[in-house]
Amino acid sequence: MSRLDNKVAIITGGAASIGKAISEKLHQCGARVVIAARSADRGEKLARELGENALYVQTDITRDDQLQNLVERAVARFGAVDILVNNACVYDDDGAQTCRDMWLSTLNTNAVSAAMLGEFARPHLTRVKGNIVNIGSISAQFPHIGRWAYPVSKATLRHLSKTQALEYADDGVRVNMVTVGHCWSDPFEGLTGDNRAHADKVSAAYNLMGRVADAQEVASVVAFVCSDEASYMTGGEVPVDGGYGAMGPEQHYPLMPLLMAGSSD
């Protein structure tokens, strides 16, 4: 298991879904975790469960004053910021009919906020030669019919990760992206009416594992990427997508036998 003893990690959207799993995993690996989220009920509950090495800071990541407060609270409580995990995002998307306000809100939340928080945390990350992990999506690499704003915002975050890696290299700060595929999370739970079996069945054709991921599987990879065991990784993208990105249009079904089946018609 990757060790993060005495590291201080800020996790945005860290009180629910994939973010909660990341907060729990980093804490399990020895980190002191700062849980940034809008939901006070969830955030305070998780911080209580994790104990003295956890701090909840109510944060709207689209507000710079609250991002500054988040960093200041982390330093005041734990004395440093070693790790920043930009996980929080919104899924608002009406496809081609997405209005301008929704476009701007989605880009602001999913990409601009990660850039701003990175800059607020940068002096502290530089001091300890820390690192940033941005949580990306397969949506950034592949167009999805009926969805425009969310995939474009994640594509923006993907490019931002590489830009940050370039800019922060002289500071000794690593920046990487963990790219997530279909994962059992709040959106999947809501869309399926909390039917995991149905989610696995629908997802099976889209990846090589035949199921959606567990949030803990994403969290384990995040823990590795932000640990010293990944000390030579920066500007990288680590897929946790069950093989989604490895498949082409033929998916994982052989074409030739299907073609030959027509020879007897």
* 120 Cα distance to chain centroid: 19
Residue 144 near residue 151 (C-beta atoms within 8 A): yes
The mean pLDDT of 84-104, rounded to a whole number, is 97
Task: State pTM to two decimals.
Answer: 0.94
Closest Cα partner for 209 from 172, 179, 183? 183
32-65 confidence digits (pLDDT tens): 999 999 999 999 999 999 999 999 999 999 999 9
- CA dist 149 and 91 (Å) reads 8
173-225 confidence digits (pLDDT tens): 999 999 999 999 988 998 899 999 999 999 999 999 999 999 999 999 999 99
pLDDT of residue 261: 74
* Three-state SS at 240: strand
Cα 50 to Cα 25, 30, 34, 130: the distances in Å are 11, 11, 11, 23
Interhelix angle 215-225/17-28, nearest 10 degrees = 50
- CA dist 165 and 34 (Å) reads 23
Phi, psi of 36 (to 5 degrees): -105, 125
pLDDT greater than 80 at residue 249: no
Please report the DSSP string for 160-191 in residue order.
Answer: HHHHHHHHHGGGT-EEEEEEE-SB-SHHHHHH
Q: What CATH number has the domain spanning 8-264?
A: 3.40.50.720
The mean pLDDT of 66-90, rounded to a whole number, is 98
Residue with token string 């030959």: 260
pLDDT of residue 13: 98
pLDDT of residue 265: 54
95-129 confidence digits (pLDDT tens): 999 999 999 999 999 999 999 999 999 999 999 99
The residues that are catalytic are 150
